[in-house]
Amino acid sequence: MTKKNLFWKGMFLGALAGGAVSLFDRNTREVMKGNVQKASSKVYDTVKHPKETVTKIKSMIDEVSEDFAYLTDKVEEIRELTPQVTDIIKETKDTFTKDDDNELMEDLIERK
């Protein structure tokens, strides 16, 4: 005989039992009733008006595609600007470092 793995069956039955026990609370029942009604209403509308749903989904996909294209362009701009900004920062640092070194040398000479 083959041995059955009862783990998933036990998990499913435990979830059902837990859900049933939680429904003993009146507030939980009312909230779940409202959620089920909202979900069934949305499913009904989707089935009744599939073209509207498809149109909404296409519109959402277009918006996401546009947003993604915009973000891709911005990332590319940042990639192009990063070496330039790095060079400017290095030049600025070098300039200030050289000035600080020169000032230090002048201060040391003046103190002598």
Residue 53 pLDDT class (50, 70, 90 cuts) = confident
Specify if 14 maps to a domain: no
Q: What is the mean pLDDT of residues 77-97?
A: 82
Residue 2, in any domain of the structure: no
How many structural domains is the chain composed of?
1
Domain that includes residue 57, residue range:
22-111
Within-domain flag for 1: no
Where does residue 32 rank: exposed (0-12), middle (13-18), buried (19+ CB within 10 A)?
A: middle
pLDDT over 60 (residue 42): yes
In this prediction, residue 41 carries a pLDDT of 94
pLDDT of residue 109: 66
Decide if 16 is inside a domain.
no
- Residue 13 within a domain: no
Residue 8 lies in a domain: no
Give the pLDDT of residue 69. Answer: 95
Residue 36 lies inside a defined structural domain of this protein: yes
Has residue 87 got a pLDDT over 90? no
